[in-house]
Chains A and B, each alone.
Chain A
């Protein structure tokens, strides 16, 4: 299988439970390289958990997840799975950027220091080089003038754009977005979506958990609707949103729009 037809993310039969509650009940999903997959669904449907399983912030109980052809969290040797050492897991995570609903910028560092943190600490990039790269990234998310502000001095939309720049600084091949605009005031949502649109246009592979149906319709290559731990419906966002086949998706769309 060559790089062209190997999906960036391959999820097979993934199950995950928190105590007695099974939140993922057998998920199969492919994210081809360069595509944007939008995951929508009511809260508690397991969409955020699925995203967190991809970069292994959460472990899974059964199934397999491959990113860039690499099995996440395990190595297969002699017909058995071996749990990866922490250092190997860290290496796997480097290539996967993640943007959180509540930004989680490091509050004790300025915007530019936040963006430099990954390359300097994890990759050992020289500080001067990391600074140049961080300046470029901040410029591209429209925040060159705010480089020396602390997160608490930035609006929610600005913080989220810094968070995106921070993830991009690791030069990831996959970006995960966990409800990136849900914690924002309505008038700040567009500036974040604009950055994400640009990113999609640049060919980045993205998994986006979102309630922004317009974004899904305009930017998404694939729409996945999850409910109660299973994927209920999937397909081209424009078709799915125009003519949902399942009653549950119709009910959901009626509520969010």
Chain B
């Protein structure tokens, strides 16, 4: 059919959809299941909904919530910095730096986080004091007692952040390697230094690959902080446990903690969505490519003018 004919005749598609009873049956079954689940939970007297509601805004719970947020944000920030450092070391030409980075990720991914947390909390047993001075047994300038420095919070922060750094290193490394080597060459041919290439060209593009798994790590970290309860970290779960040891409302307190965890992870997911969009800059989806192809052809644009281009006179 030629273009003229297609323009003159309209052939609307008003097709009848096929009947799909399976879909309706599946939906009905799922709704029924959800209704039953909601019913058993709502009418269940053992859940003590009145207690749950009363403790949701309890001062101690909110305090634990705040510690959880602090631990998550600080651990992720330090972990990300460690991860970038370890990834850059891993990709360097220096074999000693590469080895050091590999040792770090190997060790901290190879041991359970729970063990690391208990280890950091008890580090005073191995190193009773921390000091700044000349290493290998030289004189010391300042000295601290380990037991004074290592509170449950600092132990938790050390454990979570250093462990997180080992995982972030792999994520950042994958992100950096995903950037086309031609980008680096183009930047180098402009005369950029290694640092500038990394900061201005490679990392911004690597972010697109780094952000989604980092968001997952953040959401995972919100919940992983609950492990800190083994060293009495004063975060959400520790506080909930303390309360139910007093009033024996075990399930109700766990529901209170769970509600807050869900609220936190939901907020984090929404934030992740917006940050991902921010780093999608320049990565245009198919629809805009089509629009580009529909826009005026390049030949319709003014041709390059005959003005001489700027060039440095050979000196």
Residues of A within 8 A of B (CB): 3, 8, 33-34, 55, 57, 68, 86-87, 90-98, 100, 102, 104-110, 117-118, 121-122, 136-137, 139-143, 145, 150-155, 157-158, 161, 163, 166-168, 170-173, 187-188, 191, 194-195, 198-199, 201-205
Tell me the complex Cα distance, A225–B1, Å: 50
Distance in angstroms between the alpha carbons of A110 and B298 in the assembled complex = 18
Could you tell me if A90 and B193 are in contact, using CB atoms closer than 8 angstroms?
A: yes
Give Cα A118 to B265, complex, Å. Answer: 41
For B280, give the chain A residue with the smallest CB separation: A108
* B44 at the binding interface (Cβ < 8 Å): no
Main secondary structure of the interface of B (DSSP, over half): loop
Which chain B residue has the least Cβ–Cβ distance from A93? Answer: B191
Interface residue B310 (Cβ < 8 Å from any Cβ of A)? yes
The answer to whether A33 touches B190 (Cβ under 8 A) is no
Cβ–Cβ contact B314 & A173, under 8 A = yes
A118 near B191: Cβ-Cβ < 8 Å: yes
- List chain B residues, Cβ under 8 A from A203: 308, 311, 313
What are the 5 tightest A-B residue pairs by CB atom distance, in nearest-first order? Answer: A94-B191, A202-B308, A33-B314, A104-B186, A98-B189
Chain B: minimal CB distance from A131 (Å) = 16
Q: Are A122 and B185 in contact (CB under 8 A)?
A: no
B205, B305, B307, B312: the one contacting A171 at CB < 8 Å is B312
Residues of A within 8 A of B299 (CB): 187, 191
A57→B185 contact, CB < 8 A: yes
Q: Does B20 contact A (CB under 8 A)?
A: no
Nearest B residue to A201 via CB reads B308
Instruction: Produce 1/0 per residue, B209-225, CB < 8 A to A.
Output: 00000000000000000
Cross-interface CB contact of B304 among A122, A142, A171, cutoff 8 Å: A142
Q: Is B58 an interface residue (CB 8 A)?
A: no
CB-contact partner of B311 in A86, A98, A154, A202, under 8 A: A202
Binding site for A on B (CB under 8 A): 180, 182-183, 185-194, 196, 200-201, 204-205, 279, 281-284, 288-289, 292, 298-299, 301-315
Instruction: Give CA–CA (A198, B309) in the complex, Å.
Output: 7
Contact indicator B188/A140 (Cβ below 8 Å): no
* Chain A residues closer than 8 Å to B298, beta-carbon distance: 155, 157-158, 188, 191
A7 to chain B minimum Cβ distance, whole angstroms, is 10
With a CB–CB cut-off of 8 A, which chain A residues contact B283? 107, 152
Q: B302 contacts A142, CB within 8 Å?
A: yes
| A149, closest chain B residue (CB) | B292
CA distance A191 to B304 in the complex (A): 8
A163 and B182 alpha carbons, distance in the complex (Å): 13
CB distance from B279 to the nearest CB of A (A): 8
Residues of B within 8 A of A109 (CB): 282
Interchain CB contact (< 8 A) of A142 among B182, B183, B282, B301: B301
Report which of B194, B205, B304 forms a contact with A195, defined as CB distance below 8 A.
B304
